[in-house]
Structure 1
Amino acid sequence: MSDTAAPADPAPEAEAPASDVPTHEAPGIRTLDPEFFDDPHAAYREWREEGGARRTRYPGPAAVEGWVVTSYAEAKELLADQRLSKGGAVERFGRHVGLTQGPGSALFSHMLNTDPPHHTRLRKLVQKAFTARRTAALRPAIEAHVAGLLDAWEGRDEAELISEFALPLPLAVVFDLFGASDADHEALQVRGNTLDGGQGDGEVSVFTADSMLAYLRALLALKREHPDDGLLSALVEARAEGEEALSEDEITSMAFLLVIAGHQTTVNLIANGVHTLLTHPAQLASLRADMSRMPGAVEEILRYESPSALASLRYAAEPVDVGEVSFGQGEFVQISLLGANRDPEVFADPDRFDIGREDAARHLAFGHGIHHCLGAPLARLQAEIAFTQLFTRHPRLRLSEDHEARWQANPRHRGLLSLPLRLR
């Protein structure tokens, strides 16, 4: 606790009123224009007000057509509804967009894409290795990585946050978890981003997956021969009463999940957080005056500009009634975390950013139910350390004068393409 009293909370700052939602109607389905990504909150706000789930097609070469749920109550219920299956959803999606199967497809068999009882076994074993103690033990390493990245900015007037800070930080942390060497960082970063984007053609995606699989298997073989304190060695040794140990494919797919989910989500969390705080100066001033408020600020960032726009893909294993609509068996279902986290039925004045919001932690940014993100504590820890050092070391930090927010045209993620900063 600070010896001085924290200043009174400033009035929370509101978004500008939304312009026309960039959508147009087709028979039985709503197709979103590319401009949707500039302000998806406007579309989701309109859908919530209209009530019910919406049948939608997102833009892009890997367009997914299916139902989108935007209300908090329905989203939370469906995230835990086992009638919505994740097992086989990736294969269904691959057939939908013309991807071929290759050896690297084994990477996608991780627990995020499985249902009970297979999921139950995987999560139990992974939790034995990926413990709260292991996450907390990473704090000194994360602090050192953040300090090193910021040291590189000394004497400069400008920096680009994403490429020079938000991207390399979580990648370095994932490799610390694995016990991998610095020489592997660049290759995995490129391959991970390619696999996660969903924008390449099938041939490129499968080739990249095969390369990633070969790398992870080589790293796993090294850890079997020379075990250490890293997560991969712990996964090799993980056992649970009455359960088989994790197979090689299961460990490599879990490692892949950490690279993809852990990396991109944290990149977006850091970049979205810096952008949001810099565009809400009264809130940033309040945080600077009392850095003990940082955990609450991180929760509000997660609610206000969730790094994952949609929960991972599901499909209806049987007909599911939601409000006045019914999901047909086999239809894709997308749950909008962005939409749920700005639902006025749960969050008062949801389009205002307020680091003092008492119920911000009710957000669904990390999901809900059996698929709640196992790496959420690590993402929060990285964000808290990153924001604390960044805003402490750069008291005059601000957006570049010519900055105009440009967002990834990726329906799964809510992330900026770049974030140029003035340092002094």
Structure 2
Amino acid sequence: MTSEAAPAAPRPDAPRDTAPHVLDPGGADPHPTNERLRERGAAVPVLLPGGVEGYVVTRHDALRDFLSNPSVAKNACHFAALQRGEIPESWPLRTFATVPGMTTADGADHRRLRSLVTRAFTPRRVAALRPRIEELVSELLDDLAEAARDGDGVADLRRHFAFPLPMSVICELLGVAPEHRLRLHRLSNRIVSTEISPEETVAANQEIVALLAQVAAERRERPGDDLTSALIAAREEDGDRLSEQELVGTLLLMIVAGHETTLNLITNAVRALFAHPDQRELVRSGRAGWADVVEETLRHDSPVSHFPFRYPVRDLEVEGTVIPAGTPVLASYSSAGRDPRAHGEDADRFDVTRPAGRHLSFGHGPHYCLGAPLARMEATVALEGLFTRFPDIAPAEPDADLPRPRSFVSNSVHVLPVRPGPDSELTA
């Protein structure tokens, strides 16, 4: 658990290794490193890109408590090094700290911004999206089959299916025109990257802000039944409710979080079922459901590995380790998901019959992900449609050989070549 505390002498059983762990900005399979970090402690010092000092919270119970602790803030006014002028404009992770919107707001300000977006994610609104999601899945499976025919039986599942589904859904929800979507995806990949040059960082941030300002201008000129138009209307009705910066920041959050995480969730679920044919058979035989696959994937291989940032507003003790006030802290969802203290000694095992509901992959506390119900629905419909239409689908390359994104934030692979095999719609 976490508590406010003054720095204290290390306990006799505290880990001896106090050197900060240097996070790999190039991205890699996080799980071997996560295991070592959990053994070091519930909170471990890390070096972020550029030599910025931070911490990562690694264990499930400690992370759950940390995420809901009232002495932990999201607003970068509490980021000590930033306030001292030590963080350059070109720092790769600066956007996570400074983008205006829900993800960097606290208290009443956070509640104000969140209330404006909540209407798009009510259970009724999400349920109403299901027919459109099913329609998109069917269309994209046609595209996957065509890509495989053009590629000697092999197609990139991520490119032709896992990416366009959530991107289409979130863009339709926001009223973003189709011609902007691929560009937004490429820019969001750079936003979550932790290994790009300072020049690339500045350029990507400027470009995506300009593009989203253009989206807002288009919706202001031609309002529709979409969330962007609703946010603009709320701003014009009461100018104090949403500034132009907050509008663009909210769109940025929705685009990045609304498609990157679901893209990774679908990709990781397919990879897990490829690697565990016994679990795939459980679903095929009806002994488990597709929703079970989604929940176990969220736990076992979270779409987000280490999410930036939170800041203790005063020195905070996390299971014997004191995190100094103003230190940027990463929430390690990928580590917490395999913590044997919470999930048992078989936490590394992918098991779709495991009781669901204990993972933290959508966060916890005031900043719990608003889009969680939508992401769950998209992934469930996508997996059922994919494996029903292509029951013999198989990987085209070994999973260990697949390139990963250049990021310790995003957790997945960059491509997923598959052999769809016989199309059930053609063989029925």
Normalising to structure 1: TM-score of the pair? 0.84
Match of 1:7 in 2: none
Q: Which segment is superposed worse, 250-259 or 300-309?
A: 250-259
Distance in structure 1 (CA, Å) of the matches to 2:182 and 2:36: 41
Match of 1:146 in 2: 137
Distance in structure 2 (CA, Å) of the matches to 1:93 and 1:78: 21
Matched residue pairs, number? 393
Name the Cα RMSD after superposition: 2.9
Query: SS at 1:362's partner residue?
Result: coil
Q: C-alpha displacement at 1:164, in angstroms?
A: 1.9
Are residues 1:99 and 2:96 paired?
no
| Counterpart contact for 1:142–1:385, Cα < 8 Å | yes
Alignment-mate amino acid for residue 142 of structure 1: I
Among 230, 255, 259, which residue is 1:234 paired with?
230
Among 74, 80, 102, which residue is 1:111 paired with?
102
Are residues 1:257 and 2:253 paired?
yes
Are residues 1:135 and 2:126 paired?
yes
Alignment-mate amino acid for residue 72 of structure 1: H
In structure 2, list runs of 5 or more residues that go unmatched: 1-15, 422-428
Match of 2:425 in 1: none
Match of 2:268 in 1: 272
Are residues 1:367 and 2:363 paired?
yes
Distance in structure 2 (CA, Å) of the matches to 1:34 and 1:219: 31
| Identical residues among aligned pairs (%) | 37
| Counterpart contact for 1:129–1:235, Cα < 8 Å | no
Alignment-mate amino acid for residue 56 of structure 1: V
Match of 2:44 in 1: 54
Query: SS at 1:306's partner residue?
Result: coil
Match of 2:11 in 1: none
Are residues 1:421 and 2:418 paired?
yes
* 1:218-245 residue CA offsets vs partner (Å, 9 max, x unmatched): 2223323332111112223348x99943
Distance in structure 2 (CA, Å) of the matches to 1:415 and 1:57: 22
Specify whether residues 242 and 222 from structure 1 end up closer, same or farther in structure 2 by C-alpha distance, changes over 3 A only. Answer: closer
Q: Which segment is superposed worse, 222-231 or 324-333?
A: 222-231
Q: Which segment is superposed worse, 176-185 or 253-262?
A: 176-185
Specify whether residues 97 and 169 from structure 1 end up closer, same or farther in structure 2 by C-alpha distance, changes over 3 A only. Answer: farther
Q: C-alpha displacement at 1:97, in angstroms?
A: 5.5
Specify whether residues 113 and 147 from structure 1 end up closer, same or farther in structure 2 by C-alpha distance, changes over 3 A only. Answer: same
Distance in structure 1 (CA, Å) of the matches to 2:80 and 2:233: 30
Specify whether residues 117 and 422 from structure 1 end up closer, same or farther in structure 2 by C-alpha distance, changes over 3 A only. Answer: same
Q: Which segment is superposed worse, 91-100 or 216-225?
A: 91-100
Match of 1:75 in 2: 63
Normalising to structure 2: TM-score of the pair? 0.83
Q: C-alpha displacement at 1:311, in angstroms?
A: 2.9
In structure 1, list runs of 5 or more residues that go unmatched: 1-24
Are residues 1:42 and 2:17 paired?
no
Alignment-mate amino acid for residue 20 of structure 2: I
Are residues 1:208 and 2:204 paired?
yes
Among 202, 213, 216, which residue is 1:217 paired with?
213
